[in-house]
Amino acid sequence: MVAGELFISEEMMTAPEHPLANQLEASVAEFLQESPAEIREQQRRDRIPGIVKRIVPIDNNTTWEYWWCVPGRTILPEDLEVLQSDRPRVEAILSRMVWLWGGYCFGEQSTHSLADSEPIYDWQKVLDFAHQQNLTPDILDIDYLPGVVNRLYSQQSDAVSSRATPDYVAVEPAHWHVEFFQLQPVDGGYELKEPKQLCSCQIWTSKPFLKHIASGEIKIPDTDLWLSRPLDLTIPPWSASEIAVYS
């Protein structure tokens, strides 16, 4: 791939339409007293999709869409058709992101440390890593986590005390988590296979680091500091309170 091919066309940024588009705005979360099983039954009966469009930023001026599986919902056959038909477009975008920034793979059997490992710049090698974890990914879950600067205390510090002084400044640059999931058939559709197997690729714009306030020493952590939270923008909007119904 040459540098000019990195640019993604405007048409490529847009996810395809859903055959049940008229039902995307329908809500099953208003029946808060119903059990998860009853809610899923209503979803299947009324043909309410189990996916919504999620918006993923690349920078301040560029975003792209993908179809995201709503936690706890059944994935209808129509949903799976959309996910499968859109998979080449999604992977083409991810392949360009991995080519530009590189990816670090994490799994239950093998991990690439942020501190010690070189990133992978080939999306096919990321997929090969997933297969090495004995996982054939059916679903891609993509989170964008904005950059964060925060103070941290060592374990010896009394962070609760108002007199405590932070030991580090932690910098977590903007990054993306790409999680690989498998599906299992259920009545009327599919759901994410449980328990979920740990297998992901993290794409970092630069490595996170800790800077010791007293000495100025810089340390690269082995893994994500988990300071940032996913930027959750969906069409139609999907609130955390609604998601909690299905957890």
Indicate the domain borders of the chain. 3-244
Give the amino acid at 10.
Answer: E
Closest CA to 119 of 203, 240, 58: 203
Contact by Cβ (8 Å): 225, 211: no
First CA to last CA across the chain, in angstroms?
41
For residue 65, CA distances in Å to 90, 110, 219, 226 come to: 9, 30, 35, 24
Distance in angstroms (rounded) separating the CA atoms of residues 75 and 49: 7
DSSP-based three-state secondary structure for 152:
strand
Contact by Cβ (8 Å): 129, 239: no
Distance in angstroms (rounded) separating the CA atoms of residues 138 and 1: 26
DSSP-based three-state secondary structure for 92:
helix
Per-residue pLDDT, 245: 37
Spell 172-204 as b/e; 16+ CB within 10 A means b.
bbbbbbbbbbbbeeeeebbbbeeeebebbbbbb
Distance in angstroms (rounded) separating the CA atoms of residues 13 and 111: 31
Per-residue pLDDT, 152: 83
Distance in angstroms (rounded) separating the CA atoms of residues 236 and 72: 17
230's CB contacts (< 8 A; 6+ apart) are 143, 144, 145, 177
Chunk the chain into consecutive blocks of 10 residues (it has 247) and report each block's average pLDDT, rounded to whole numbers.
57 93 76 68 89 92 92 92 97 95 88 79 96 92 94 62 73 95 92 89 92 91 82 71 39
Distance in angstroms (rounded) separating the CA atoms of residues 154 and 175: 25
Q: What is the pTM of this model?
A: 0.85
Per-residue pLDDT, 205: 93
Per-residue pLDDT, 176: 96
